[in-house]
Structure formats: C-alpha cells, structure tokens
Amino acid sequence: MALKYYHAEPLANSLKSMIPLFEKGLEFESVYVNLHKFEQHESWFLAINPEGQVPVLDHDGAIVTHTTVINEYLEDAFPDRPPLRPNTPAGNARMRYWNKFVDEHVMNFVSMHGWHRLIGIIARKIESGEFEKLLERIPLHEQREKWRTARSGFSEADLANATRKIEVAVDKVEAQLGETAWLAGDMFTLADVNFYSHCGMMVERMFPEMEIASRCPRLVDWRERLTARPAVQEALNMPDHTEPGLRTWSGHAR
C-alpha cells in the first residue's frame, strides 16, 4: 500500500487533506509542488492531474483530486483508522452541509484576498511576455482568469463582496458553535478541517478589522482546540516556501 500526496504550503487546499492524513496516522510520501515556480502547470504534473491543481492523492496509482473528495475517499478507504466522519446518516448530512457551505461560500472568497495579497505581487514581478507564456500553460479557464485578474488587481467591489461573504461565514460558525462543540455536532469532523484550512486558521490574522476575538469568541476557542491537535501541528509544520515578507495568507494559525 503506497500513498503519495502532492501538495504546496500548509494552508487552504493543501492543508485540508494533509490534516486527515496525519489524523489517521497514514504514512504517505510527501511531494512538494512549488507553486511559486508554477510547477503545477508543468507537463510532469499535468500528466498526474490534467486540471493543473494541487493537492492530488495517489493511492496505489488511483488518482483522487479535489480536497472534499479526497477527504471522503480517506474515510471510505481506511475505515479502520480514526474516523473524521460521523458515519450516521444525519451526522454525515450535517458534515456535508458544512463542507458544501465552505466549498461554495467561503473558500473562493478568502482565496481572493489571499491571491490579492500574495499571488498579485508574484504575478506583477513577471515580465509581460513571460506572463502570457505562463498563462498559456494553465489548463482551467477559471484559473487563467484568476491569474490575469491577480496581476491587474481584483476590483474593490469584488474584494468587498468577498469580505461580506467571510463575515457571514464567521457569524454562522459562531452561532453553530453556540449549539455544538464542533461544526457538525459533538464530533470533530472533516467539516471542521475544511473551515479551519480555508478560513478559521487565518481569518483573525488576515482581517484584523473584523475584530474576530470579540466578535467570535467561540470560533477562537474552536480554532485553538483545533490548532492544539497533534496531527494539525504536524500538518502546520510542513515546509512553507513563501518569502517571509509575503506570508499574509500562509503563516501562523491565528
């Protein structure tokens, strides 16, 4: 049995499937894909994932992409390991409701601010002719447009809408944590891993104007409980090749 995990820095998507790997104590070969050098668009990587995106799980040659899919795959493939899915019909539904919410209403909006602060600077450092060549290699239309927009700058209206979505999300999570210890109930699940990786881990650091500590005390407590988990520590300690001055998106879990 051989697991190989292709990933970038420990945040967002790459963190999201790394936490379950460590939580389950699964041995895996870590293959770092350097997004700062656009390795995800190189032909060797496109041969593995034609969509040109990290992370990718390779399980004995079976390729699984998209973190929400990878994470349920790990639950299905390793039922004897500590579960991160309730495995009751109602519990799974609650977990999937939150996964869907994070995937569709949170991820892209924190990501836009992350791209604005990190990828925009990287993209503007590239010479014009060179940049067009890089764009040509990107297989997904949406990713090409995101790179193009990152270089020219996201609009104030789009950034403000993204901020509004994130405010809705942190208030929704805060309300849920008044009802249950974790997002999908009394059990720590993939829903917590999802919101943590895409928003909860860095929302206070990235958006000081939201005053998360006073606005969402339960979210802060939840984040601390999550960050303290040994498996999460292991995942967060994976290498971060982002230049220290650009670590506005990656960086400490706060």
235 touches 18 (CB < 8 A): yes
CB atoms within 10 A of CB 216: 22
Q: Which of residues 212-251 bind a second copy (CB under 8 A)?
A: none
> Which residue, 89 or 208, is less far from a second copy as judged by CB?
89
Among 39, 42, 103, 234, the residue binding a second copy under the rule CB under 8 A is 103
Q: Is 29 left (phi over 0), alpha (psi -120 to 50) or beta?
A: beta
Q: Of 16, 116, 99, 12, give the one whose Cα is nearest residue 57.
A: 16
Site size for a second copy (CB under 8 A): 24
64 binds a second copy (CB under 8 A): yes
> Which residue, 91 or 227, is less far from a second copy as judged by CB?
91
Q: Of 170, 183, 218, 226, give the one whose Cα is nearest residue 91.
A: 183
Which region, judged by CB under 8 A, interacts with a second copy, from 69-77, 173-181, 211-219, 242-250?
69-77
90 binds a second copy (CB under 8 A): yes
Among 28, 73, 131, 207, the residue binding a second copy under the rule CB under 8 A is 73
> Which residue, 185 or 251, is less far from a second copy as judged by CB?
185
Q: What is the 3-state secondary structure (H, E, C) of 132-190?
A: HHHHHCCCCHHHHHHHHHHHHCCCHHHHHHHHHHHHHHHHHHHHHHCCCCECCECCCCH
Which region, judged by CB under 8 A, interacts with a second copy, from 30-38, 58-66, 175-183, 239-247?
58-66
Site string for a second copy, 11-50 (x = CB under 8 A): ----------------------------------------
Site string for a second copy, 180-219 (x = CB under 8 A): ----------------------------------------
100 binds a second copy (CB under 8 A): yes
66 binds a second copy (CB under 8 A): yes
Among 49, 68, 176, 197, the residue binding a second copy under the rule CB under 8 A is 68
Applying CB under 8 A, the residues found at the interface with a second copy are 62, 64-66, 68-70, 72-73, 76-77, 88-90, 92-93, 96-97, 100, 103-104, 141, 164, 168
